[in-house]
Amino acid sequence: MTTNSYFSPQRFLNYLKFDLKINAKTYLFFAIGLLVVLFFADYFSISQTNSTIGYTEKQYSPLFFVMFTICSILVMATSFPELRNKKEASHYFLLPASTFEKILVQFLIRIVAFTVVFFLIFWIDFKMTHIIYQAIEWNKPIAIKSFDLFTPFYDLTRTTDLIAVILAMFSVATFLLMGSSIFRKYALFKTILSFGILLGIFFLTMVFYSHVFYPEKVKNFFSIEIQSYKIRPYLYNVQLFVYILISFASLFFLPLTYFKLKEKQV
């Protein structure tokens, strides 16, 4: 086996071009749809603002994260659309590219490109909505701060927090990608459900260990008791545990996606 069996730059480029050409209309309509949906969300958010306080990061950042989460789930959990029916799946598996290249294309388009496009569209859309709002509702002026592309992340002043948020987003994204490669029917619903189950299992495991290690401290059956202490200034042991968990989750999800796709039969 040579690396060529897994990745060849020329073949990958050919396959990427193929995907972009064959799905050009879908991607274009999605971008337009996103522009419209975000416009209405922004408009609604601005219109609900108290004019005496004005529109600040406190409204802008939560709106960004809510919309980004919803759209990410919709985009990432519907990756590998060809796997949804047998005819298309056969056609997809027989396309001359490696499994790794097929995953990489989905990863680049559904995670990387989507994130970049979302940041840009959200920012541009907000500016547009602001102008349109002021033109329509000229008698109800609202002071709106000037936001830039990365405003939602400015609250995360410590680098460790910023890295943790990015890694958490990355882990969830890879989980959604994995779900879409495993489930043939109702992939979106099943992926969200399995994410919920995973969180539930994690919660119950923590409850179980709380009862095992701190039986005298747990207040009720479902409470979690964790001994928290500072490792360094601004870094608690629990924080470190979460950082490690979210950093390594994607290292598990991505290979699983690869092997699930490789083993799939039609």
Residues making contact with other proteins (CB under 8 A): 4-5, 8, 11, 14-15, 17-18, 21-22, 87-88, 90-91, 93-99, 101, 262-263, 265-266
Rounded (to 5) percent helix, strand, coil in the chain: 70, 5, 25
Nearer Cβ to other proteins, position 24 or 166?
A: 24
In this structure, is the dihedral angle defined by the CA atoms of residues 254, 260, 262 and 264, taken in order, positive or negative? negative
Q: How far is the CB of 56 from other proteins (least distance, A)?
A: 46
* Residue position matching structure tokens 């995907």: 19
Q: How far is the CB of 204 from other proteins (least distance, A)?
A: 32
With 0-12 / 13-18 / 19 or more C-beta atoms within 10 angstroms meaning exposed / middle / buried, residue 8 is: middle
In this structure, is the dihedral angle defined by the CA atoms of residues 234, 235, 237 and 240, taken in order, positive or negative? positive
Nearer Cβ to other proteins, position 81 or 128?
A: 81
Nearer Cβ to other proteins, position 100 or 243?
A: 100
| Whether 195 contacts 179, CB under 8 Å | yes
Nearer Cβ to other proteins, position 39 or 100?
A: 100
Q: How far is the CB of 57 from other proteins (least distance, A)?
A: 44
Q: How far is the CB of 238 from other proteins (least distance, A)?
A: 43
